[in-house]
Structure 1
Amino acid sequence: MKLESMPKNIMFALDIGTRSVVGVLSKKIGKDYVVVDFEVLEHPERAMFDGQIHDIQKVTDVVMTVVSELESRNGYKIERAAIAAAGRALKTERARSDAGIDVTVEIDKALVESVEMQAIQLAQSQLSKKTGKQSQYYCVGYSVVNYFLDDAMILNPLGHRGGELGVEIIATFLPHIVVDSLYSVVHKAGLEVMNLTLEPIAAMNVAIPKNLRLLNLALVDVGAGTSDIAISKEGTVVSYGMVSLAGDEITEKIAQTYLLDFNRAEKLKVELNQKERHEYMDILGLKHEITTEQVMRDIREVVRFIATQVAQNLLELNQKAPSAVFCIGGGSQIPFFTEDLAESLGLPMERVAIKAVDQLPEIVFESEVLKGPEFMTPIGIGVTAFEERDHDFIRVNVNETSIRLLNTKPLKVADALLLAGISARNLISERGDAMQITLNGEIKELKGDYGDPAKILLNGGLSALDEKISHKDQIVVIPATKGSIRSLELKELVNYEASISINGQKIKCIHAVEVNGVAREGIYKVMPGDVIETKGIKTVNDLAELMEIDLMYFHILNGDTPLRKQDSIRWGEKYYFKPIEKKAVETPVETPDGDSSAEMTVFVNEKPVEIPIGKIQPVFVDVFNYIDFDLTKPQGILNLRLNGERALYTDVLNPGDRIEINWKK
């Protein structure tokens, strides 16, 4: 019989599954998806395992038979097919990446996306090490678990400042080999691939349409070898997962319990939802009769275990229970599975439901009706193909290199850079080399300046990592530059204006500065290895010598006690004290006439606060006893400063100190 050309309005969807191959001919009339005809054929031999094709020729033979049956019934030649890559072939990896950033600049969206991209590349590298293969993977999606600023968890780093930004992500990848083997089977069957999607996306497009994806929903496809998970929220599919437990575990339990071969055990499992009593013959040739209730008692623990494992994976991906769960696939029909899944997720039982093809309002059948949740994916492949006709891959150029991207989601510049192998490190500016100097005997490391950030050009215009891309777009990446050694003048290291107050009179602490033994002015350019020494008042000894005062009568401080800028000191006959005993562990506070009930004034957020002076000198943390500031309810990062500098809880307080305490958001 001579076949006519396939009508242009007819779509052929081909679902190549682990247990069977399903072919569906359909057309679209208005909003309705009309099924014209379908064919289902099981693999006579096991040629696929967990969604991966192992014997290309055996799978090709089954596909050709399905195509031939549909052609003979409908009278036209099937030439093109819409297909889907198995969700169970997806690989999920968790990774964290940290990057040093310029503490003086606010964190913007471009920087956050660059660190996220760096984390995706790290996840891809981890995956390659685990599999022992360096083959490329398509990143089909990722979700952020946590952000970190200076190693502290933060909800949203945008607008903050810090020295290090970190991000932890869960990324999902599809191996190239899965796509390549699917293409091989389709081509050997004499067909052309017109559209490629992912099985979870195909199923989501009919089970959880886009208008529902603002909700946090999950789709669980319980197949033969694996249970696949897809999660939606904020209008898109954000995560995929897979548990290597599904219907085959139940079939094997039935086979072991009742001495059946795999096929007879599978038949008994399928009939659990159809019959109350079952007759079967075991491998010894003995006939038996058993009730569904008895079988369910024997497989109950296996069902509960699968549901628990699916729930754990779902909670890890979503960080909490979703609002509702839709279950598809033949394995989801096993009695008690949805109840056990709801219990493991802590959801009401009505929030975990089976979604079947015959429940879809916009699916119409011209021939026999396909029923049950196991046909959601083949129907979804056709629906997806109508929406994304001829858009399975797009090609773009990245720095003159042509790459092909799998069009399973809205694609962005970041997706192209990942596949092109552009390192995220090239997008984040680095500090220049550090230099060491010695200041008053203390070695200091001065970090280098930051370089210029990367520039991304999309079709000649400035772009960002989250910019959407289309077929034949041109992307050019100009890498970030490394900064230079820090350039600074001596006055940026030495505070020439530092002074102390003696009986109300200001005296400068620094009289001169020497660099490598040579006197230098403030405009001197500091060089690596410089030895800088300030000359002037540093300790009580220096002050006593300058004022020609006997140290023995100079308050109660030791001679080597360092003086700080803005210290205020008074002395007179009535303030004379004996020198502090050397065995003392803690430094007492100077109080007039030894009055332990005296107070000193400090300024907290510009407001005066009186702090009692006891036998032990107050430290920074004591301030919280005299101000209204709740530490038990964090509202960001706690910012503590003393006289304009970052403070520690153990910093000693002096009269007149300026203190800042606030939450930095």
Structure 2
Amino acid sequence: MQEKDDLIFALDIGTRTVVGVLLEPTADDRLIVKASEVIEHKNRSMIDGQIHNVEEVATQVEKIKTSLERKCDTTLNKVGIAAAGRALKTVTGHCQLEFDNKREVTTSDVQTLEFSAVQNAQEKLVSKGDQAEGYHFVGYTLLQNMLDGMKLGNLVGQSGKKIEVDLIATFLPRIVIDSLLTVIRQADLEVDHLTLEPIAASNLIVPRRMYNFNLALVDIGAGTSDIAITKEGSIIGYAMVPVAGDEITEAICQSYMLDYHKAEEIKRKLLVEDKVEIKDILDQVTTVATSSVIKMIEDEVESLAQQIADEILSLNQQQPQAVICIGGGSLTPLLKEKLAKKLELPVNRVGVKDCQEVNEIEGTIDGVTETQSITPFGIGITCYKNNKQVNFIDIEVNGDLIHLFTLRKPKVSDALLAAEIDITALKPNPGLAISVEVNGDLKVIRGSLGTAGRLLVNGTEAELEDEISHGDQLTVELGEQGENAYGVIADVVPELPSRKIYINETEVVLEPIYYMNEKPVSADTELKDRANITYTLPQTVKEVVEQILEFPVEQIKKRKISYTFNGAEREYQYQNYRILLNGKEVSLDQEVDSGDHLSFEEVNKSDLKIKDLLDEVKVNSTINVTFNNQPVEVPLVDFQLLKNGKTAQLEDQIFTGDEIVYQPGTVQLNQLLSHINYELPTNINGRLIIEKNGQAAQLIEPLEDGDQVKIYVEDKRSDIKVEDSMKKKKKEGNSLERLQQRLQIKLLD
């Protein structure tokens, strides 16, 4: 036998059967079936699309290989296969990049953005308890691009400051691929091309032009139901439901006590026969109407339809426009109708597709239905179209061996994702900036830019989109982190002038005062990120006292005493320090200037006394007058000086709440005469004259301090002497001395 290079060997390893087909390309890019072989697993060596017994599956594959080689007289070394997608996981990823300034977005920016979003999806995979190295990255589909918060179709060439992307990344467990590769190696074959079953099927029955429709492609096999969603020109995601035709078969087994293979035979007859003959494990034979069997499996079909519908809605976020079903399980009775109901679609929007209308393939596969042929034919088509794209290769990344699986020609970016290297670290990373608020204005000190990383493939500079091959050696040099910003207070405040003044004759230079987070600092204090910086240059006496002398300004303040004086409320204020600016007393709000002399004097006076209150009032209880040229001290009538209703002295202290009463008192001329015991003469020759300060006066005339009073007879032109009155009093037995003591008066010399 000779190897024929143009033959394509496609192998579909399913849960129930292994299907192999040899296809030969034609000049018009069609494929002709040269031979096919179908073998059922003897035991349950495949469960839900996963290989559980590698040796048994490898034996079946080897049988198919040998049979096809014999039929076509050729030697087969390479094979195209597909992974069923068991535990296939789709995870959303998000990334945003923010530039220092608004600029044009480059292709490199978008590549970094998208691959970083895939790594974000990988991180989510790990956060759910899975290990990223346990999965192959299959591919991703963009959901949306955003530039400065606005959705755009393409970011390249746009100008902005922040770009964002959301995407769906798909991952496949390595164990699925590893077990497949082991089976292929044990069958003495090597993988020509590896794809996913949903991709293989869609390549055959969903033309690229139909990707603009929102379609759900469901491949219902024996163990799994694989799902792919198309929208807006591409497949946006994949999913898998771990239930399929086997659940229906198991229901028939349990209901009629049949082994698995007998139940499979009955299931295939449900749509083509009215009655089926059943022989149970006790060798009892009965005939049952297929309608009864269909009614019995209805609950299982309902459950299968519900799970498929739920997964479609979860992946698509809405009902699709239509559903295309393929695979042997899609022929299950009632499934199409129930799936349409679950998705709230018309029944004619859920269809079962077969190969009858596929123009790319000529021929059939014996032993399987048309719809079951879709996956193996799809594998063959995919392998033919991608025969120059080796998608499973071994490479080295910084000396570590990486097994890389891709669905397209592998690129440098695929290698970095598989090696879990942070793609953003290739960009120059600036150091952290410091932002502070200075007197209400935002100030930013930026860190240094850093250096960009390098990508080398076999020692040559490379880009993320460069293709790589088996055995390539990649060297990744990550970018260096820029230094974090550093700054001091002086870096963010304006230069302020200093002034020289004199405080108590000592020279003092007024410098700016700085605060960081309300604490005093110096100009060379290191800045803290997000700090609140304030500064001031002392302008007033108060600021000089507080900031330069560090003297509590509250100790230099006015005090007050509230009291009443003669019924009126009053306040007395005084300051305990006397502030002099250039020799003049000033307040704390007075501004200072260069060259000023400032001094502080402590004022001990802190008590308010009654005499302080009456400073401007002449407080006397007596007045001094002159009577007939003789000085006389006369007590005032009705004089009062009271504190809280009691007699007070001028030295008494006043406190808040005290009531002070002051009544100066008066004295009349007749009271003066009474005070000195002077009696007006009654037997006189002439007219009696009474004068005050040279003017005629009445006896009730009020007197004031310093007044001059005279009484005389006009005809005699002689003064009536006080001594005459005193002599008269002596005759009455009263001496002048005793009279003075009794009246408490003193004649002034």
Normalising to structure 1: TM-score of the pair? 0.66
| 8 Å Cα contact 1:436/1:528 also seen in 2 | no
Mapped to 2, the partners of 1:228 and 1:485 lie a distance apart of: 50
| 8 Å Cα contact 2:328/2:369 also seen in 1 | no
* Counterpart secondary structure, 1:77: coil
* Counterpart secondary structure, 2:318: coil
Q: Give the match for residue 482 of structure 1.
A: 481
Mapped to 2, the partners of 1:485 and 1:474 lie a distance apart of: 34
Matched, 1:90 2:101: no
Matches within 5 A, 1:65-214: 65-96=63-94, 102=100, 110-128=108-126, 130=128, 133=131, 135-145=133-143, 158=155, 159=158, 168-214=166-212
Which residue of 4, 9, 13 corresponds with 2:10? 13
Could you give the per-residue CA deviations for residues 164-218 of structure 1, whole angstroms, max 9, x where no partner exists?
x765543211233322222222222223333322222222221223343344433
| 8 Å Cα contact 2:429/2:452 also seen in 1 | no
Q: Give the match for residue 318 of structure 1.
A: 316
| 8 Å Cα contact 1:431/1:482 also seen in 2 | yes
Mapped to 1, the partners of 2:240 and 2:150 lie a distance apart of: 28
* Counterpart secondary structure, 1:139: strand
Mapped to 2, the partners of 1:208 and 1:410 lie a distance apart of: 22
Which residue of 271, 281, 295 corresponds with 1:297? 295
For residue 301 of structure 1, report the CA deviation from its aligned partner. Answer: 3.2
| 8 Å Cα contact 2:11/2:376 also seen in 1 | yes
Q: Tell me: higher relative CO, structure 1 or 2? Use CA pairs within 8 A at least 6 residues apart.
A: 1
Mapped to 1, the partners of 2:470 and 2:63 lie a distance apart of: 35
Matched, 1:384 2:382: yes
For residue 334 of structure 1, report the CA deviation from its aligned partner. Answer: 1.2
Could you give the per-residue CA deviations for residues 560-600 of structure 1, whole angstroms, max 9, x where no partner exists?
xxxxxxxxxxxxxxxxxxxxxxxxxxxxxxxxxxxxxxxxx
Q: Give the match for residue 623 of structure 1.
A: none
If you compute each CA radius of gyration, which structure gives the higher value, 1 or 2?
A: 2
Mapped to 1, the partners of 2:344 and 2:107 lie a distance apart of: 36
Q: Give the match for residue 28 of structure 1.
A: 25
Q: 1:416 to 1:44 in 2, by over 3 A?
A: same
Q: Give the match for residue 734 of structure 2.
A: none
Q: Give the match for residue 416 of structure 2.
A: 417
Mapped to 2, the partners of 1:307 and 1:453 lie a distance apart of: 55
Q: Give the match for residue 332 of structure 1.
A: 330
Q: Which runs of 5+ in 1 are unaligned?
A: 498-510, 518-523, 543-665
Q: Which moved more, 1:31-40 or 1:428-437?
A: 428-437
Mapped to 1, the partners of 2:214 and 2:300 lie a distance apart of: 28
Mapped to 2, the partners of 1:99 and 1:127 lie a distance apart of: 22
| 8 Å Cα contact 1:448/1:483 also seen in 2 | no
| 8 Å Cα contact 2:37/2:365 also seen in 1 | no
Q: Which moved more, 1:271-280 or 1:453-462?
A: 453-462
Q: Give the match for residue 506 of structure 2.
A: none
For residue 353 of structure 1, report the CA deviation from its aligned partner. Answer: 1.6
For residue 35 of structure 1, report the CA deviation from its aligned partner. Answer: 0.5
Q: 1:351 to 1:108 in 2, by over 3 A?
A: farther
Mapped to 2, the partners of 1:439 and 1:74 lie a distance apart of: 85
For residue 18 of structure 1, report the CA deviation from its aligned partner. Answer: 1.4
Q: Which moved more, 1:24-33 or 1:410-419?
A: 410-419
Mapped to 2, the partners of 1:469 and 1:515 lie a distance apart of: 60
Q: Give the match for residue 546 of structure 1.
A: none
RMSD between aligned residues: 4.2
For residue 249 of structure 1, report the CA deviation from its aligned partner. Answer: 1.7
For residue 495 of structure 1, report the CA deviation from its aligned partner. Answer: 8.0
* Counterpart secondary structure, 2:483: coil
Matched, 1:51 2:49: yes
Give 1:422's aligned amino acid.
I
Q: 1:443 to 1:432 in 2, by over 3 A?
A: farther
Q: 1:16 to 1:217 in 2, by over 3 A?
A: same
Mapped to 1, the partners of 2:317 and 2:538 lie a distance apart of: 59
For residue 272 of structure 1, report the CA deviation from its aligned partner. Answer: 1.4
| 8 Å Cα contact 1:144/1:170 also seen in 2 | yes
Which residue of 233, 246, 249 corresponds with 1:248? 246
Which residue of 277, 299, 302 corresponds with 1:279? 277
For residue 332 of structure 1, report the CA deviation from its aligned partner. Answer: 0.7
| 8 Å Cα contact 2:224/2:243 also seen in 1 | yes
* Counterpart secondary structure, 1:303: helix
Mapped to 1, the partners of 2:463 and 2:513 lie a distance apart of: 49
Matches within 5 A, 1:520-539: 527-528=526-527, 532-535=533-536
Mapped to 1, the partners of 2:269 and 2:198 lie a distance apart of: 26
Could you give the per-residue CA deviations for residues 219-275 of structure 1, whole angstroms, max 9, x where no partner exists?
211011111012334544332111112111222223333333333222222211221
Could you give the per-residue CA deviations for residues 147-167 of structure 1, whole angstroms, max 9, x where no partner exists?
6889x795679457567x765
Q: Give the match for residue 407 of structure 2.
A: 408
Could you give the per-residue CA deviations for residues 417-449 of structure 1, whole angstroms, max 9, x where no partner exists?
101221134145545245586856x99996753
Q: 1:432 to 1:252 in 2, by over 3 A?
A: same
| 8 Å Cα contact 1:358/1:369 also seen in 2 | no
Give 2:14's aligned amino acid.
G
Give 1:479's aligned amino acid.
L
Q: Which runs of 5+ in 2 are unaligned?
A: 497-509, 517-522, 544-749
For residue 404 of structure 1, report the CA deviation from its aligned partner. Answer: 4.5
Q: Give the match for residue 426 of structure 1.
A: 425
Give % identity. 38
Mapped to 2, the partners of 1:404 and 1:231 lie a distance apart of: 28
Normalising to structure 2: TM-score of the pair? 0.60
For residue 141 of structure 1, report the CA deviation from its aligned partner. Answer: 1.4
| 8 Å Cα contact 1:80/1:192 also seen in 2 | yes
| 8 Å Cα contact 1:141/1:238 also seen in 2 | no
Mapped to 1, the partners of 2:511 and 2:461 lie a distance apart of: 51
| 8 Å Cα contact 1:448/1:484 also seen in 2 | no
Q: Which moved more, 1:173-182 or 1:387-396?
A: 387-396
Q: 1:296 to 1:200 in 2, by over 3 A?
A: same
Mapped to 2, the partners of 1:401 and 1:467 lie a distance apart of: 20
| 8 Å Cα contact 1:84/1:198 also seen in 2 | yes
Which residue of 248, 264, 267 corresponds with 1:266? 264
For residue 532 of structure 1, report the CA deviation from its aligned partner. Answer: 4.8
Q: Give the match for residue 737 of structure 2.
A: none
Give 1:419's aligned amino acid.
A
For residue 44 of structure 1, report the CA deviation from its aligned partner. Answer: 0.5
Mapped to 1, the partners of 2:192 and 2:72 lie a distance apart of: 20
Q: 1:341 to 1:480 in 2, by over 3 A?
A: farther
Mapped to 2, the partners of 1:92 and 1:531 lie a distance apart of: 46
Q: Which moved more, 1:260-269 or 1:44-53?
A: 260-269
| 8 Å Cα contact 2:37/2:366 also seen in 1 | no
Which residue of 236, 243, 246 corresponds with 1:238? 236
Q: 1:447 to 1:253 in 2, by over 3 A?
A: farther
Give 1:263's aligned amino acid.
H
Matches within 5 A, 1:569-580: none
Mapped to 1, the partners of 2:126 and 2:536 lie a distance apart of: 60
Mapped to 2, the partners of 1:69 and 1:145 lie a distance apart of: 46
| 8 Å Cα contact 1:434/1:445 also seen in 2 | no
